[in-house]
Amino acid sequence: MSIAILLATLSIAATAAYSGYEEYGALTSTISSGSLNQLQLSINGSILSISGLNVPNKMTFPLTLELLGTVSLNNATIGTFDSGAYLIEPNQSQSVNVSIPLSFAGLMENSKALEAAAVNSSILSINTTVAAHMVPLLGINITKAANTAAGPILGGLSANLNASQAQLSPDGQTLSVPLILSWQNTSPLSSGSLWLSANLTGIPGKSQGNYGSTSGILNFTEGQNQQSFILRLPSSDFAGGIPRGSYTVQIALSQSQGAIPFLRIPKSVTE
């Protein structure tokens, strides 16, 4: 009787081992780097949705499967996820979809990551672990990473002076001129704010210097953005009016007022 039980146990173990070998091959093929790069990603507000992963159960035993991992932008973590457990019956397959709430607090506090995300394309990375368990005998964990490009927060940033809206202060000492910034936000951040400081350092016909400044909160939303800041210029430098030509504006961006700028951008402005 004990020999029969032993043989049955060995038979189950051998079957489980073979099934596990088949499933490991199927999973590694499904969860290959190439397959992860084919995942369908979509961002709606602060929610990242992942779909397009289909996992087969090649074994003769039921399979439980869980998808978990992290999402990062320029190596700053912006989300974690856990799909919960799926039960896949033998010879069946299961589509795995997850919705991930994103938080950009870590990115906004990371000056190096934020500098990269502000005006350049960023790397959105998804580090994924597929945890599979054959009920009740075998566990398989496969970890892979997939990267995709994400657009900048301040893509195509341009600056213009609106001289037609210039106003002289009541005491005649200061000239207020709108500085209009335009950009396209194609990053995963659907909204947010930075602190902007800008100095007018070059005007037509004069050497480099400091000819006025402005500062304030720069707010960004998804898509096309435009915002105006008021440059306050000494009227003595513009006694004959605002000349046409090329101006230079030095823009500094910080995470908050008083913080050290993480990015400085020189911009040529034609009036």
Angstrom CA distances, 2 to 8, 10, 24, 139, 233, stand at 10, 12, 32, 28, 97
Mean pLDDT along residues 260-267: 94
Lowest average pLDDT, out of 36-45, 129-138, 250-259, goes to: 36-45
Distance CA 169, CA 233 (A): 10
Residue 36: helix, strand or coil by DSSP?
helix
Q: Between 253 and 21, where is the model more confident?
A: 253
Lowest average pLDDT, out of 31-35, 115-119, 185-189, 199-203, goes to: 31-35
| pLDDT for 63 beyond 90 | no
In the chain, what are the domains? 2-150 (2.60.40.10), 155-270 (2.60.40)
Q: Which long-range contacts (CB under 8 A, 24 or more apart) does 21-27 make?
A: 22/58, 22/59, 23/57, 23/58, 23/59, 23/63, 23/132, 23/134, 23/138, 23/140, 24/140, 25/58, 26/56, 26/58, 27/55, 27/130, 27/132, 27/140, 27/142
| pLDDT for 18 beyond 80 | no
Mean pLDDT along residues 204-208: 85
Mean pLDDT along residues 236-247: 82
Global pTM value: 0.77
| pLDDT for 194 beyond 80 | yes
Contact 31, 127 (CB under 8 A): no
Neighbouring CB atoms inside 10 A of 254's CB total 19
Cis-peptide into 56, omega within 30 deg: no
